[in-house]
Amino acid sequence: MPLSTEELRETARDIYIYAYPLLISQVTRNVACNVAEPIGLRAPINQIAHNREFPDATYTDVVRPNADTLYSALSFDVSKEPLVITIPDSGGRYYLTPWLDWWTDVFAAPGSRTTGNGAITYAIVGPKWQGSLPEGIKAYRSPTANGALIGRTQTNGKADYEAVRAFQDGIKVMPLSAYGQPYTPPKHTVDPNQDMSAPPDQVEQMDAETFFTLFTELMQDNPPHANDYPILDRMQRLGIEPGKPFTFADASPEVQDALRAAPATAIKLIKQVWANSGEFANGWRTNMTAIGTYGTDYLHRAGVAYAGYGANVIEDAIYPTVFTDAEGEPLSSDRRYVLHFEADQIPPVRAFWSLTMYDERQLFAPNPIDRYALGDRDLLTYNPNGSLDLYIQRQSPGPEREANWLPAPEQGNFTMNLRLYWPKAEALNGAWVPPSVKRV
């Protein structure tokens, strides 16, 4: 029985949402890998790049930046052979190396929580690869031929840069054929015509023919997941099948119309689900489901790909975000606030926690002491009963309280993120929630 116009449009919209992370991944690579050699967090395919210092108030590349870890990034293609990664002993330093497939699901996360802090050598192998690895090399099979690494290394302030950089420099990446011998990564040819604008903007500007044609091309090397059969059956009714070419012009006029209508309705849903995702408590919103791994929750997966590409699984990190005070009023730099943790309510982590300040642009704001985050690695002053008060305001709360001061922006509203790395069970099961931000 043929699909009705409404069914065609719903199906096309859902296919767009399903496909969206695949397109974001590819466009992100086109931008991030369009360099001759590693620079900043950009590097040619199968080469690793590292952040060497924290962003400051002049940084505008990515919203809600982080002042806790230095990042490492890599875009991989293992369609021809595996990629071997060697990580040195971290000396007890917390780190994680989450590997994403091209659908943005985390399929492996070697690091302190999972494999420990000792030296490790492993290989990322493609979905079709058959062969043997040298002794001592663990295999992680990627569900897709393409993917990405967005690693994080604990960094305890600027004084810690030298030690972190030494750890980063000890991370080696090479194709399997070069393992065990000297290897110099090849230089990449830069494409001067590559659009270097933000990947979500590029995808949103694609017309339906470009989007769905590229989608079917990307599925050649990046097959659907094993539990995707229901959406694949619906795709087939519109003439789209994994591993087979799709020619937009050959589709019926009704299918073409449905596909052309899909982007506008799908993008609206994707943006809405990102803005409203997570659980709400005490003014804080925390995304505890459908992040890092998604099952068949394609809408949340698309939402995270849109605004949080490279998100960790919650077992590695959670990021409660607060927009309002205890009375439900937006946080304003014209006011003074206290965030009070009872002794048994300090953020429960096995690695570390922090509180980060963002201005109305979702960026760091200039302040007199160049402090953008405050956490358990700072020399905080605890109360005699073990509780903790953090002072959030524009001006210093006074010398005796300055150790616990997180400066607010000079003007406007602001928001804050708690970051809990390697959170304990009570932070994951809802037994612990952040306290309200109270106005003084």
- The model's pLDDT over 130-151, given as tens digits with 9 standing for 90+, comes to 999 999 999 999 999 999 999 9
Fold held by 319-439: Jelly Rolls (2.60.120)
Q: Where in the chain are all domains bearing CATH 2.60.120.600?
A: 319-439
Q: Where in the chain are all domains bearing CATH 1.10.3360.10?
A: 5-18+195-277
Q: Which residue has the tokens 């959406």?
A: 231
Residue 209 predicted with pLDDT over 90: yes
338, 392 Cβ separation under 8 angstroms: yes
Of 94, 73, 91, which is closest to residue 317 (Cα–Cα)? 94
3-state secondary structure (DSSP) of residue 5: helix
Mean of the per-residue pLDDT values of the chain: 96
Of 117, 159, 165, which is closest to residue 422 (Cα–Cα)? 117
Q: Give Cα 280 distance to the centre of its chain.
A: 21
The CATH code of the domain at 35-178 is 2.60.40.1610
Q: Which residue has the tokens 């595996």?
A: 82
404, 381 Cβ separation under 8 angstroms: yes
pLDDT grade, residue 320 (50/70/90)?
A: very high
Q: Round to whole Å and give the CA distance between 363 and 337.
A: 20
Q: What is the largest CA-CA distance in the chain?
A: 76
**pLDDT tens-place string over residues 81-132:** 999 999 999 999 999 999 999 999 999 999 999 999 999 999 999 999 999 9
Mean pLDDT to the nearest integer, 237-266: 96
365, 59 Cβ separation under 8 angstroms: no
Amino acid symbol at 333: S
pLDDT at 394: 97
pLDDT at 63: 77
| CATH class of the domain whose range is 5-18+195-277 | mainly alpha
Burial class (CB in 10 A: 0-12, 13-18, 19+), 37: middle
CB neighbourhood size of 54 (10 A)? 19
Q: Which residue has the tokens 């091209």?
A: 102
From residue 160, alpha-carbon distances to 27, 156, 157, 368, 371 in Å are: 34, 5, 6, 22, 16
Which pairing describes strands 138-141 and 120-125: parallel, antiparallel, or unpaired?
A: parallel
3-state secondary structure (DSSP) of residue 440: coil
Residue 246 predicted with pLDDT over 90: yes
From residue 136, alpha-carbon distances to 84, 133, 382 in Å are: 11, 8, 46
420, 68 Cβ separation under 8 angstroms: no
pLDDT at 2: 86
47, 74 Cβ separation under 8 angstroms: yes
**Global model pTM greater than 0.95:** no
What is the Cβ-side half-sphere exposure of residue 44, based on CA atoms within 13 angstroms?
12
What token pair was written down for 410? 């000079």
pLDDT at 59: 86
pLDDT at 61: 72
Q: Round to whole Å and give the CA distance between 16 and 220.
A: 17
pLDDT at 440: 94
Residue 439 predicted with pLDDT over 80: yes
DSSP H stretches of helix in 219-322: 229-236, 253-276, 298-307
**pLDDT tens-place string over residues 264-279:** 999 999 999 988 888 8
